[in-house]
A and B are shown apart, each in its own frame.
Chain A
């Protein structure tokens, strides 16, 4: 089992390295000079020379690559010329609200999905079809539209929640629900289908023949089996939450990584966009690795003897 875990950790390092390398190659593969690409829309005298000096653009390609790698490892992502700040400062200050949003939405989605799946899996046909339909609708709803609808109803009309900003916890409620619902829709589908597939397995008949009640069967036996495909989805889920957070922030005017990145895209502030993307990739790799290791721990069949 340990060899499996170690090899999984090594793989994740390879993938992280590959994303950094791909970014480097993409930068250099684009037409135009690197100085111009990195400068974006900004123009003032001496800028190009400063960029060249900072990034060592006169050195050979392998040297540049090595320096690029070592900078990333040290956490130095360069400077945003548009905002005239080190990128780390720009991103770091806005990281927290986004993570707050993504995490809250994620936890909410998992709770909703777990509850509904437990209650509806294998029950009467009507409740299953109804739940199935509701899940489909939510999984198909664009995040930003859901946000607009919730804004209209709860902020503008009922005035229960503030329209924008990050003051207090009630500014988190609507954005978190907006992000959680489509995620929950998909997650519930996966969980419920996995549970129903499991309920058809012979071992469940054996458990029933011991006189165990239906709820206990689901809680003690079926849930663990259903978690396996859900855990597999986990990595994608994190990526989806991060991406969704970006969109949700725009809808609710909530400051965070989304606003920063969008602004950077529109002003061609390459260092900032690059950093955000790489950071998201690292988070994704770390999360997937943890989840894969969790998978090995849950399923004893994978612990090779």
Chain B
């Protein structure tokens, strides 16, 4: 299931200056603002987890000495224990090792998909956000058209044409994600285009091009890392779903979705191959979502 950002960067109330906050004439709920200064523990945990994920993608052998691809048949389907933390699968491969080595696929394909979608989305979004009604209509219809295909099905169509594999599902997921990113960038561009500091910039002797380069573009781009982080989680969900269906990396690649697909055969007798890779996916998505949401809330306070 993909998850669009429903908050979508709509305008928020500008943050009042400290002196104004001292009086509580605004919503009495504002009184509680003082408490929010510390970083929430969930955010710190998520940050640490993401750091661990990145470490696991770059140097998985640090975390485990087992080989993810080669298994000992005599050790097949051993439950979790001290030697095999997550147990072993049907072919005797250590599930923990496969989970660790699988990190890089989810992250790579996820980031890759986001990059593709973001790249095209930014360009199209900025074009649509200009004051040209025709361009805006055309690009918006393009977004509508792309988003009318459910992400999973669009990816399946692209895989039908291009074949299976990591790169292809990254492209497929990216194309399916263009409307998401494009619309947010478009909204952001329109917001900034209509902001006072842009409409009044001519007073300071700036040409339209200078205003675009110095004020519009930087403020639009500031939002990009936040958008990317918010959507990485949902992208990883689609990617693992497509891999589960067999459209992505093929066995014996230890990709989490593939691992879960394989686990279905042994579910009656062994629960662990069907649980740990799923926990990994869920935890990864949660971590990125928490970080993305936090960034988004902080950013919304700055929009004025």
Point out residues on A near B: beta carbons under 8 Å.
Answer: 11, 14-16, 18-19, 22, 26, 30, 37, 136-137, 139-145, 148-149, 151-152, 156, 182-183, 186, 189-190, 193, 200, 229, 233, 235-236, 239-240, 242-244, 246-247, 250-251, 261-262, 264-266, 268, 270, 273-274, 276-277, 280-282, 284-285, 288
Contact = CB atoms under 8 A, between A and B. Distances in A.
Interface in B66-107: none
Size bin of chain B's contact surface: 35 or more
Which of B160, B261, B275, B289 has the most chain A CB atoms closer than 10 A to its own CB? B160
Interface stretch (B117-125, B144-152, B195-203, B216-224): B144-152
Interface stretch (B55-63, B184-192, B205-213, B279-287): B279-287
Given A137-B286, A145-B278, A268 B240 contact: no
Contacts of B261: 144
B1 A182 contact: yes
B275 A142 contact: no
Contact of B145 (A18, A156, A242): A18
B282 A152 contact: no
Contacts of A240: 1-2, 150-151
B112 interface: no
A156 B270 CA distance: 11
Contact of B6 (A37, A233, A235, A268): A233
A186 B278 CA distance: 19
Nearest to B290: A136
Nearest to B264: A148
Contacts of A262: 156, 245-246
A33 B270 CA distance: 48
B257 A15 contact: no
B295 interface: no
Contacts of B275: 149
Contacts of B154: 277
A270 B163 CA distance: 12
Given A151-B267, A190-B6, A145 B281 contact: yes
B3 interface: yes
A76 to B, nearest CB: 20
Contacts of A242: 150, 153
Contacts of A182: 1
A247 B245 contact: yes
Contacts of B290: 136
B148 A239 contact: yes
A289 to B, nearest CB: 10
B27 interface: yes
Given A15-B144, A240-B150, 13 more contacts: A22-B145, A142-B241, A142-B257, A142-B282, A144-B241, A145-B281, A148-B260, A148-B267, A243-B151, A246-B153, A262-B246, A282-B148, A284-B147
